[in-house]
A and B are shown apart, each in its own frame.
Chain A
Amino acid sequence: MKRLTLSWRLLWRNWRAGEMKILAVALLLAVTVVAGISIFTDRLQSAITRESHSFLAADRVINSSQPIPLEWRALAQQHRLQYAYSTQFSSMAFAGDAMQLAAVKAVTEGYPLRGKLHIATQPFTTDPQQITVATTIPAQGEAWVDARLLPLLGISLGDTLEVGEKPLKVTRVIAEEPDGGNSFSPMGPRLLMNAADLQATGVIQPGSRISYNWLLASEDPQQLQAFLQQLQPRLSVHERIRDVASSQKRLANALATARKFLSLSAMISVLLAGVAIAIAARRFASRHVEQVALLKSLGAGAGQIRGLYAAQLLWLGVITSLLGLVLGYWLQAAIVQLVGDLLPVTLLAPGWLALLPPALTGLVCLVCFAAPPLWHLPTVPPMKILRRELPVSAVRQYWQVLIGLLALLLLVAVFSGDWVLTVSLSAGLVVLVALGLLLARLLLNGIQHYSERSGSRWRLALASLQRNRQQTLIQTVVFALAVSLLLSLTGLRTSLLEDWQLQLPPETPNHFLLNVAPHQLDGVKQLMSDNQLTTEQFFPMVRGRLTHINGVEPDEEKRERTETLRRELNLSWTDHLNSDNKVIAGQWWDSWPAGGRVGVSVEQEAARQIGLQVGDELRFSIGGLTLEATVASIRSLKWDSMNPNFYFLFSPQSLDDFAPAYMTSLYIPSQQKAFINTLLRFDPTLVVIEMDRMLAQIQAIVSQVSRGVELMLLAVLAAGFLVMWAAVTSSFSERQQEAALLRALGSSRKQLLGSLWLEFSLLGLMSGVMAVAASEVLLLAMQRWVLEIPVRWHPGLWLWGVSVSVLLIGAMGVFACRRTITTPPAVILRELA
Chain B
Amino acid sequence: MLSVTNVGKRVETSAGELEILKSVSFSLAAGASLAITGASGSGKSTLLGILAGLDVPSCGEVELAGQSLTQLDEEGRAALRAGHVGFVFQSFQLLPGLTALENVMLPLELHGVSDARAKAETFLQRVGLQQRLQHYPQQLSGGEQQRVAIARAFASEPDILFADEPTGNLDSTTGAHIIDLLFDLNREQGTTLVLVTHEQRLADLCQQHLVMEGGEVVGFNGQVSDAGVLTT
Q: List residues of chain A with CB under 8 Å of any chain B CB.
A: 2, 6, 9, 13-14, 16-19, 290-291, 294-304, 381-383, 385-387, 831
Contacts and interface: CB of A to CB of B under 8 A. Distances in A.
B59 interface: no
Interface of B: 45, 48-49, 52, 54-55, 74-75, 78-83, 85, 87, 89, 93, 95-98, 102, 106-107, 109-112, 138, 156, 164
B81 A297 contact: yes
A301 B49 contact: no
B107 A299 contact: yes
Contacts of A383: 49, 54-55
Contacts of A17: 96-98
A227 B107 CA distance: 62
A299 B108 CA distance: 10
A2 B75 contact: no
B102 A299 contact: no
A825 to B, nearest CB: 17
Given A297-B87, A299-B81, A302-B74, A386 B45 contact: yes
Contact of A294 (B45, B52, B78, B95): B95
A304 B110 contact: yes
Contacts of A302: 74-75, 78
Contacts of A381: 54-55
A100 to B, nearest CB: 87
A291 B107 CA distance: 12
B54 A301 contact: no
B79 A301 contact: yes
A299 B55 contact: no
Contact of B89 (A9, A19, A300, A385): A385
Nearest to B114: A2
A13 B97 contact: yes
A381 to B, nearest CB: 7
B96 A299 contact: no
A736 to B, nearest CB: 15
Contacts of B45: 386-387
A299 B54 contact: no
Given A383-B49, A385-B89, A386-B49, A300 B96 contact: no
Contacts of B89: 385-386
A671 to B, nearest CB: 69
A9 B98 CA distance: 11
Contacts of B79: 299, 301
B97 A16 contact: yes
A697 B111 CA distance: 67
Contacts of B78: 296, 299-302, 304, 382
Q: Which 8 residue pairs are nearest across A and B when measured between Cβ atoms?
A: A17-B97, A299-B82, A301-B78, A299-B81, A383-B55, A298-B107, A382-B54, A301-B75
A429 B79 CA distance: 46
Contact of B85 (A19, A294, A299, A304): A299
A298 B106 contact: yes
Given A16-B97, A299-B107, A387-B49, 11 more contacts: A2-B112, A295-B110, A299-B78, A299-B80, A299-B85, A300-B78, A301-B74, A301-B75, A301-B78, A381-B54, A381-B55
Nearest to B99: A13
22 contacts: A13-B98, A14-B97, A16-B97, A17-B97, A17-B98, A290-B93, A294-B93, A297-B54, A298-B82, A298-B87, A298-B107, A299-B78, A299-B110, A299-B111, A300-B78, A300-B110, A302-B78, A382-B55, A385-B54, A385-B87, A386-B54, A386-B89
A382 B110 CA distance: 16
A12 to B, nearest CB: 10
Contact of A291 (B48, B75, B83, B95): B95
B109 A6 contact: yes
B45 to A, nearest CB: 5
Nearest to A3: B112
Contacts of A13: 95, 97-98, 102
Contacts of B74: 301-302
B21 to A, nearest CB: 13
A298 B102 contact: no
Contacts of B96: 17
A643 B229 CA distance: 106
Nearest to B112: A2
B93 A385 contact: yes
A606 B81 CA distance: 82
Contacts of B95: 13, 291, 294
A13 B102 CA distance: 9
Contacts of B48: 386
Nearest to A833: B169
* Residue among A18, A301, A304 with most chain B CB within 10 A: A301
Nearest to B48: A386
A300 B74 CA distance: 10
Contacts of B83: 299
A300 B75 CA distance: 8
Contacts of A297: 52, 54, 81, 87, 93
A284 to B, nearest CB: 12
Given A302-B78, A382-B54, A19 B97 contact: yes
A480 to B, nearest CB: 34
A300 B82 contact: yes
A791 to B, nearest CB: 53
B110 A6 contact: yes
Contacts of B80: 299
A13 B110 CA distance: 15
A14 B102 CA distance: 12
Contacts of A19: 97
Contact of B110 (A14, A290, A298, A387): A298
Nearest to B75: A301
A1 to B, nearest CB: 10
A302 B73 CA distance: 11
Most chain-A CB neighbours within 10 Å: which of B49, B78, B98, B164? B78
Nearest to A14: B97
A18 B55 CA distance: 32
A520 to B, nearest CB: 88
Contacts of A298: 81-82, 87, 106-107, 110, 156
A17 B96 CA distance: 8
A16 B95 CA distance: 12
B70 to A, nearest CB: 15
A9 B95 CA distance: 14
A49 to B, nearest CB: 51
A290 B54 CA distance: 14
Contacts of B156: 298-299
Nearest to B90: A386
A25 B42 CA distance: 48
Contacts of A291: 95
A827 to B, nearest CB: 11
A528 B93 CA distance: 90
Q: Considering residues B48, B55, B110, B156, which has the most beta carbons from chain A within 10 angstroms of its beta carbon?
A: B110
Contacts of A294: 93, 95
A625 B81 CA distance: 104
A304 B98 CA distance: 20
A279 to B, nearest CB: 20
A791 B85 CA distance: 70
Nearest to A16: B97
A290 B89 CA distance: 13
Nearest to A19: B97
Nearest to B97: A17
A291 B112 CA distance: 18
Contacts of A304: 78, 110
A6 B102 CA distance: 12
A296 to B, nearest CB: 6
A17 B138 CA distance: 12
Contacts of A295: 106, 110
A295 B98 CA distance: 13
A831 B110 contact: no
A386 B36 CA distance: 15
Contacts of A831: 138
Contacts of A299: 78-83, 85, 107, 110-111, 156
